[in-house]
């Protein structure tokens, strides 16, 4: 596609028929992304401020953990009742959770806010995919997912720097206040744009049996975080039991064959979960290490994260230039390999093998891999899904990533607690192992046929 043709195609996406939808989705995702990168930079300060540094892992993973329930309910709710009702409910819970975090007097209230934010954000994150499927034509979806990826770019680059400055110069509570105002405004725009959306009233409960299994999975992950605070040998026994419980519930939540990485949508869902968990675990512990072990200020550690985020911008730009709606096996293999560079580079830093500048380069490469992978995986799953299954399969992508992230952070949190000697080295060894698994999953990808088929 020529540059001129690409410009015309992009103009169509932002044209009058789609502009309110694109603007609403973009705005809401931008502030959600800002909060994600803000919490990564600010959390070491927040846990110190509230006197609860030992709850660092749970304070971060609380949203991903309870998001399992929201994501599971959100997809089914949108399929049965349309997109407007779940958007309102999810948005209200998300905003209430952010407000609790901003006002939290102690860590228990802060974690409660993070959990409520997770349920609401989980609902809306899935419904946004259904909004794209219902309002954006298939020919423009890859570019729409590129816009969705771009919504993470500016927050990923500026978010850590802005957050570091606010934390140092004002207060960490102002970060949540900004997210609250911006998210509320974006949600209002999006709700106005979908006011005329069809409102089906199909039989069945939005919660259903999968919603109960999602609650069981969230409970199992929360249990993992709790046992992660216990002394040996209970921490080891509890972690093994907790992981088994999470795997059992995951088998009920994800498409059949996901745990075996069966060809087709199940393999893509598994890939998204492992890849997202690798990236999230790499990022969440790096500012903690920089601030606590190397005495970096919040602004300085935020700068390291921000520089690494340029890779995501590069990956999204490359994917947007390709305009691919189906992706290619070679591109997904490259994305997984690039993502693996992140945890390997940080592992080199914490073990004294690599300097900081080499670690930053590794994080840039990791971001490039994520920017390449996300639009392709999302487009592939929608292309392989029947219309009536778009909500459920979009939910499965989100649930897989949320479950994988929650599980990996719970396990690495336990590792960090138990390994007084190995510490961050063992932690990042576990994260790098997850990155290797994502690479292995791509080795069996094949070119998908037109229409529903295998990958």
Write the DSSP string, 307-350. HHHHHHHHHHHHHHHHT-SS--HHHHHHHHHHHHHHHHHHHHHH
The CA distance from 432 to 410, in Å, is 15
CATH superfamily entry for domain 3-195+207-442: MFS general substrate transporter like domains (1.20.1250.20)
Yes or no: say if 182 and 30 are a contact pair by the CB < 8 Å rule.
yes
Query: For residues 189 and 20, is the Cβ–Cβ distance under 8 A?
Result: yes
- Tell me the CA distances in angstroms from 409 to 31, 165, 193, 239, 306, one per residue in order: 23, 27, 37, 12, 21
> Tens digit of pLDDT per residue, the chain (455 long)?
454 554 454 457 776 777 888 888 888 888 888 888 888 889 999 998 998 888 888 888 888 888 888 877 887 788 777 788 888 999 999 999 999 999 999 999 999 999 999 899 888 888 887 888 888 877 777 778 778 777 877 787 888 888 888 988 889 999 999 999 999 999 998 888 877 665 655 556 666 677 788 888 888 888 887 776 766 777 778 778 888 888 888 888 788 888 887 888 888 999 999 999 999 899 889 998 998 888 888 888 888 888 877 887 788 777 766 654 445 778 888 999 999 999 999 999 999 999 999 999 999 999 899 888 887 887 788 777 776 676 667 778 877 888 888 889 888 888 887 765 458 888 999 999 999 999 999 887 765 554 444 45
Residues in Cβ contact with 216 at an 8 Å cutoff, skipping those fewer than 6 apart: 245, 249
Give the pLDDT confidence score for residue 326 in this predicted structure. Answer: 46
In this structure, what DSSP letter does residue 449 have?
Answer: P
What is the model's pLDDT at position 450? 47
| pLDDT value of residue 1 | 46
């Amino acid at each position: 596609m020529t540059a001129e043709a690409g410009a015309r195609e992009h103009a169509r996406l932002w044209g009058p028929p789609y502009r309110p939808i694109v603007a609403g989705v973009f705005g809401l995702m931008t502030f959600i992304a800002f909060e994600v990168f803000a919490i990564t930079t600010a959390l070491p300060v927040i846990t110190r401020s509230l006197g609860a540094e030992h709850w660092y892992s749970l304070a971060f993973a609380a949203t991903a953990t309870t998001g399992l329930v929201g994501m599971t309910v959100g997809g089914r709710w949108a399929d049965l009742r349309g997109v407007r009702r779940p958007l309102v409910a999810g948005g209200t819970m998300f905003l209430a959770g952010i407000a609790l975090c901003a006002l939290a007097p102690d860590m228990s209230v802060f974690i409660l806010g993070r959990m409520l934010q997770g349920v609401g954000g989980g609902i809306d994150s899935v419904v946004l995919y259904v909004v794209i499927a219902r309002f954006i034509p298939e020919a423009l979806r890859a570019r729409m997912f590129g816009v969705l990826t771009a919504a993470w770019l500016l927050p990923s680059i500026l978010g850590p720097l802005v957050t570091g400055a606010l934390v140092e110069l004002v207060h960490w509570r102002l970060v949540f206040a900004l997210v609250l105002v911006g998210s509320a405004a974006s949600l209002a725009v999006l709700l106005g744009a979908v006011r005329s959306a069809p409102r089906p009233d199909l039989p069945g409960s939005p919660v259903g049996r999968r919603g109960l299994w999602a609650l069981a999975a969230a409970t199992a992950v929360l249990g993992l975080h709790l046992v992660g605070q216990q002394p040996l040998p209970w921490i080891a026994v509890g972690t093994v039991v907790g992981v088994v419980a999470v795997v059992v519930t995951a088998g009920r939540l994800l498409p059949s064959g996901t745990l075996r990485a069966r060809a087709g949508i199940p393999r893509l869902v598994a890939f998204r979960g492992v890849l997202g968990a690798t990236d999230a675990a790499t990022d969440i512990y790096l500012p903690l290490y920089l601030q606590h072990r190397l005495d970096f200020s919040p602004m300085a550690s935020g700068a390291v994260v921000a520089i690494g985020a340029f890779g995501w911008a590069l990956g999204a730009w490359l994917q947007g230039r390709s305009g691919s709606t189906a992706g290619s096996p070679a591109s997904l293999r490259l994305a997984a390999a690039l993502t693996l560079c992140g945890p390997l580079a940080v592992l080199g830093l914490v073990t004294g093998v690599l300097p900081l500048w080499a670690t930053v380069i590794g994080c840039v490469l990791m971001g490039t891999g994520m920017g390449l992978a996300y639009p392709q995986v999302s487009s592939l799953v929608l292309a392989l899904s029947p219309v009536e299954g778009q909500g459920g399969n979009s939910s499965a992508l989100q649930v897989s990533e949320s479950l994988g992230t929650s599980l990996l952070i719970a396990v690495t949190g336990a590792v960090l607690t138990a390994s007084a000697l190995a510490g961050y080295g063992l932690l990042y060894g576990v994260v790098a192992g997850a990155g290797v698994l994502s690479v292995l999953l791509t080795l069996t990808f094949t070119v998908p046929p037109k229409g529903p088929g295998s990958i």
